[in-house]
C-alpha cells in the first residue's frame, strides 16, 4: 500500500460537521497535492511571461513548456515531445480534431464510436455527419462490456477513424485496446483513444498500443485543468487545423490556439513528477512504471474491498465487470432499487463521504443500460489517497442508508 500519501494534500484535511471527508469523487477530478500547487505558484512568482521573448522570464517559460512536453512524452511513452500538444481540455481538443477531420473526410466515409463512451468522445465525431460522414455505434452489452463482434462487423474499408475509450468512467470497464488496434490497423483507419479515465490508474504506452491519437486530462491525475493530445509523429502536421496566420504550422503547436495556461502546464509537470516520486529508478519512464505498479496494487485492493462490501448490502446492484477481471478501473457504480442515486449521494455527503451521482456525461451508456430513467447511478472512485479506513466508513454509512 502507498503510505503517507494523504500528508501531501492540504485539501484532504477538510471536514463536514467536524468529521473528516472521504473523497471518493476522484473520477470527476482528483484532489491536487501541495507540490503541484506550489509549482504553479512558483511559476507565477518567478517565471510568469509569454513565450518566445528575449528576456529571462519568457525563456524560462519556453524551457518549462519544452520540459513539460518531454515529461508528458515519458508519461505516455511517446517518441518525441513534438507529439504532445496542450489545450483547454480534452473536449476542446477533440472538437478541434473533428473540424480538421471534416476537411479531409469525404461523404460516404465512416467513423466508429461506442455506446460506452463519455460524450467528449462521441459528440465531436458526430459533427462529422454534417459533411456526409456516416457515424456508426459499437454496441454496449448488458455486462458493461463492448460488443466486439459488433465492432468487427461494422469495421470496413470505408472506416476512416475508430474512437474508443481506454476505460469507462461509468462502468469501470477497461476496453480491449489491442484487439481494436489490430483490427483498425488492418482496415487502414486511424485509432483515437480517450484515455481520460484510464490515465490515473494504468501506465499508458502509446508505442505498444500503436494508436494514432490519444487524449487525456491532467485534472484526473492530480494536476490542474489542462487537456493533453498525443498525435503520432508526423500525423498532426498533415491535418488542416484551425489556426491563426501567425501560428507555427508544425506539431505540436499546430492545434494549440492562443496563449496557453502556462502556470497550469507547470502543474502538469508537477503532477507527473509527483506520481513518479512513488516509484524508484531512472529515467522518468522507469520511475513511473514502478510507481504505477504500486498505485495499481493499492487501488485494486481497496476497490475489491469496496466491491465485496457493496455486494452484501440489501437493495444495491453494482454495474459493470466484476473485480475478478484483470483489467478493470477502480471505479464502482451502483444503484439502489428504491432510492434515487441523487438521494444516496446526498445522504453520503451529509456524512462527509463525497461521491457522484448521475450519468457523468456517459449518457449513451446510461440510456443503453436502462439506468437513465433512474437518475443514473452513484459512483465511487478509488484514488492514490484512498485508505482502508475510508472504505470501512463508507460501507458503514451505506449500510445505514440501506436499512
Tell me the per-residue pLDDT of 106-150, one tens digit each, with 9 for 90 and over.
999 999 999 999 999 999 999 999 999 999 999 999 999 999 999
Q: Is the pLDDT of residue 47 over 90?
A: yes
Treating both helix axes as pointing N-terminal to C-terminal, what angle do 284-311 and 56-76 enclose, rounded to 10 degrees? 60
Percent of the chain scoring above 90 in pLDDT: 96
Q: pLDDT per residue over 90-112, tens digit each?
A: 999 999 999 999 999 999 999 99
Instruction: Please give the grid coordinates belonging to residue 199.
Output: 490515465
Angle at which helix 284-311 crosses helix 262-276, to 10 degrees, equals 80
Q: pLDDT digit string (tens) for 211-234?
A: 999 999 999 999 999 999 999 999
Domains and CATH numbers, the chain: 6-33+287-402 (3.90.1150.10), 37-276 (3.40.640.10)
- The cell 496557453 sits on which residue? 260
Q: What is the pLDDT of residue 2?
A: 64
Residue 399 neighbours by CB distance under 10 Å? 13
How far, in Å, CA of 299 to CA of 1, rounded?
A: 8
SS3 100: helix
Predicted pLDDT at 155: 99
- State the residue for C-alpha cell 466515409: 109
Beta bridge partners of 213: 192, 231
Cell of 348: 453520503
Q: What is the pLDDT of residues 310-337, one digit of tens each?
A: 999 999 999 999 887 778 999 999 999 9
- Name all contacts of 68-75 with Cβ < 8 Å and 24+ positions apart: 68/265, 68/266, 68/268, 68/269, 69/252, 71/268, 71/269, 71/272, 71/273, 71/284, 72/228, 72/268, 72/272, 74/272, 74/283, 74/284, 74/285, 74/288, 75/204, 75/272, 75/284, 75/288
Please tell me what DSSP assigns to residue 117: S
Q: Is the pLDDT of residue 1 over 60?
A: no
b/e code 55-85 from CB counts within 10 Å (16+ = b): eeebebbbebbeebbbbbbbbbbbeebbbbb
Amino acid at each position: 500500500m502507498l503510505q503517507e500519501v494523504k500528508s501531501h494534500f492540504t485539501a484532504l484535511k477538510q471536514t463536514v460537521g467536524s468529521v473528516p471527508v472521504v473523497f471518493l469523487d476522484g473520477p470527476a477530478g482528483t484532489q491536487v497535492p501541495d507540490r503541484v500547487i506550489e509549482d504553479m505558484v512558483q511559476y507565477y512568482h518567478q517565471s510568469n511571461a509569454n513565450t518566445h521573448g528575449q528576456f529571462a522570464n519568457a525563456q524560462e517559460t519556453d524551457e518549462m513548456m519544452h520540459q513539460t512536453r518531454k515529461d508528458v512524452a515519458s508519461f505516455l511513452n511517446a517518441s518525441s515531445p513534438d507529439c504532445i500538444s496542450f489545450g483547454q481540455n480534452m473536449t476542446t481538443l477533440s472538437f478541434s480534431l473533428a473540424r480538421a477531420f471534416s476537411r479531409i473526410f469525404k461523404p460516404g466515409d465512416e467513423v466508429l464510436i461506442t455506446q460506452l463512451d463519455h460524450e467528449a468522445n462521441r459528440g465531436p465525431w458526430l459533427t462529422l455527419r454534417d459533411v456526409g460522414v456516416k457515424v456508426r455505434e459499437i454496441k454496449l452489452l448488458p455486462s458493461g462490456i463492448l460488443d466486439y463482434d459488433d465492432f468487427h462487423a461494422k469495421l470496413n474499408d470505408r472506416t476512416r477513424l475508430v474512437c474508443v475509450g481506454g476505460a469507462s468512467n461509468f462502468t469501470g470497464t477497461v476496453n480491449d485496446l489491442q484487439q481494436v488496434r489490430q483490427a483498425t490497423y488492418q482496415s487502414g483507419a486511424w485509432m483515437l483513444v480517450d484515455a481520460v479515465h484510464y490515465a490515473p490508474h494504468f501506465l499508458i504506452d502509446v508505442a505498444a498500443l500503436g494508436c494514432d491519437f490519444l487524449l487525456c486530462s491532467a485534472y484526473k491525475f492530480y494536476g490542474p485543468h489542462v487537456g493533453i493530445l498525443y498525435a503520432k509523429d508526423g500525423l498532426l502536421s498533415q491535418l488542416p487545423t484551425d489556426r491563426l496566420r501567425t501560428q507555427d504550422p508544425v506539431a505540436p503547436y499546430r492545434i494549440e490556439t492562443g496563449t496557453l495556461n502556462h502556470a497550469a502546464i507547470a502543474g502538469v509537470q508537477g503532477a507527473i513528477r509527483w506520481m513518479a516520486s512513488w516509484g524508484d529508478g531512472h529515467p522518468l519512464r522507469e520511475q513511473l512504471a514502478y510507481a504505477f505498479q504500486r498505485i495499481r496494487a493499492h487501488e485494486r485492493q481497496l476497490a475489491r474491498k469496496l466491491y465485496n462490501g457493496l455486494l452484501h448490502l440489501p437493495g444495491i446492484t453494482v454495474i459493470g465487470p466484476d473485480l475478478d477481471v484483470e483489467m478493470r478501473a477502480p471505479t464502482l457504480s451502483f444503484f439502489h432499487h428504491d432510492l434515487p442515486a441523487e438521494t444516496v449521494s446526498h445522504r453520503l455527503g451529509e456524512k462527509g463521504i463525497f461521491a457522484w451521482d448521475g450519468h457523468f456525461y456517459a449518457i449513451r451508456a446510461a440510456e443503453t443500460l436502462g439506468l437513465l430513467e433512474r437518475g443514473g447511478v452513484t459512483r465511487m472512485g478509488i484514488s492514490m489517497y484512498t485508505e482502508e479506513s475510508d472504505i470501512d466508513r463508507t460501507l458503514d454509512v451505506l449500510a445505514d442508508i440501506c436499512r
